[in-house]
Amino acid sequence: MQVIRYPDSSSWNTLLQRPVMDTSTLEAKVAAILEEVKKDGDAAIRKFAAAFDKVTLTDIRVPATAFEEAAAALDPALKAAIQQAAKNISAFHSAQKEQSKVIETMPGVECWRKSVAIQKVGLYIPGGSAPLFSTILMLGIPAKLAGCKEIVLCTPSLHPAILYTAQLVGIDKVFTIGGVQAIGAMAYGTETVPQVYKIFGPGNQYVTCAKQLVNKSGLAIDMPAGPSEVAVLADDSCIPDFVAADLLSQAEHGPDSQVLLVTTSEQVIANVTNALEAQLARLPRKDIATGALENSKMILVSDTDTAVELLNAYAPEHLILACDKAAEIAEKVTDAGSVFIGNFTPESAGDYASGTNHTLPTNGYARAYSGVSLDSFVKKITFQQISPSGLQQIGATIEAMAAAEGLDAHKNAVSIRLSSI
């Protein structure tokens, strides 16, 4: 990791830039795949599965028997862990339900807002080197709690943990489709895959580009997303081995991930560097983590206030506060996806089982976006009801404003009613 000492605030924008990928030809390639899926449906799905995943798809939809076999094959200890995580995630997201409240803004004028589930949602779970069954919990549980009528899950992985978790959450429409073609199938629908109204889930740069392209054409997505990242604020009260482990937990996601250590102590840099070297040598995904560390930085600042200001400017996906008075410092955080307070709160707790959602904004989008929650699976519809006496109370206000804007038909919609009362 590169070490930067006492950078001037004028250099922060450059210093805090994420790794940039060359996407000059990416959009055209992705758009061509999406168009073919839109036009040819299942035939295109099978074609791209053979070309990209080297598999021959017969049944695109996973049969019911596969879920039973997965449950029987999975290690009981892992089943118990998944069940506990599901319980915690359900408890946290259940508490996010809102009750409608009628507000009488004037006598006879009642307004309220109601949460209504998005009827059809699509979840994407990548394949790759790790079966991300935890993401099914993070997306499937709030979708079910919100009351989504149809939940479609696409994944190229048939790992038993993937199928067991889908069954546990209550998702039975699972399709063995990966990559751009999975996003296209859910966005446009095929003979086999239902079309959805909003797509959720992580993926590589191709999947991310596909989600952004279908979003441009009018389909909702969870959020803009890029490679995973973590920032750690540490002082002399931190435990260097813990900090190193947290940095590596994100670095092992992929060589395009980024980790950031911000500290007020030169000694912390030395200690964490030693701990990183020792732990990295033992990691099975050492080469991947090494690539990420090459994109990453340790930044020494003069005081905690400067550290917090710098971290808010960075707006990390995950922020760990491994420092004295961590809870007080957390109150000063304005831009982060999820915050982990104290030496014994590892980021991996949020990734798996504490209850919060791990689908979070990356690449600085935490300045304006929230992570996935129950709200992500509903839309808020406003309602209003005005009585005759209520219209008499508010009518003159509406007429005056409509007239001032030169919208006579708007004014008349009120005036004609008032004259009938």
Task: Report, as residue numbers or ranges, the catalytic residues.
Answer: 317-318
Sorted by sequence, the CB contacts under 8 Å of residue 94 that are 6+ apart come out as: 145, 374
Read off φ and ψ for residue 6, nearest 5 degrees. 50, 55
Sorted by sequence, the CB contacts under 8 Å of residue 415 that are 6+ apart come out as: 395, 399
Residue 379 exposure: Cα atoms within 13 Å on the Cβ side: 10
Does 312 carry a binding-site annotation?
Answer: no
Does 98 carry a binding-site annotation?
Answer: no
Q: Please state, in angstroms and rounded to a whole number, the distance separating the CA atoms of residues 400 and 417.
A: 15
Does 267 carry a binding-site annotation?
Answer: no
Does 410 carry a binding-site annotation?
Answer: yes
Read off φ and ψ for residue 140, nearest 5 degrees. -70, -40
Does 204 carry a binding-site annotation?
Answer: yes
Q: Confirm if 259 and 289 have CB atoms less than 8 A apart.
A: no
Does 93 carry a binding-site annotation?
Answer: no
Greatest extent of the chain over all pairs of C-alpha atoms, in Å: 83
Structural tokens at position 399: 């007429």
The single-letter code of the amino acid at 79 is K
Residue set of the binding site for substrate: 228, 250, 253, 318, 351, 405, 410
Residue set of the binding site for Zn(2+): 250, 253, 351, 410
Residue set of the binding site for NAD(+): 124, 181, 204
Residue set of the binding site: 124, 181, 204, 228, 250, 253, 318, 351, 405, 410
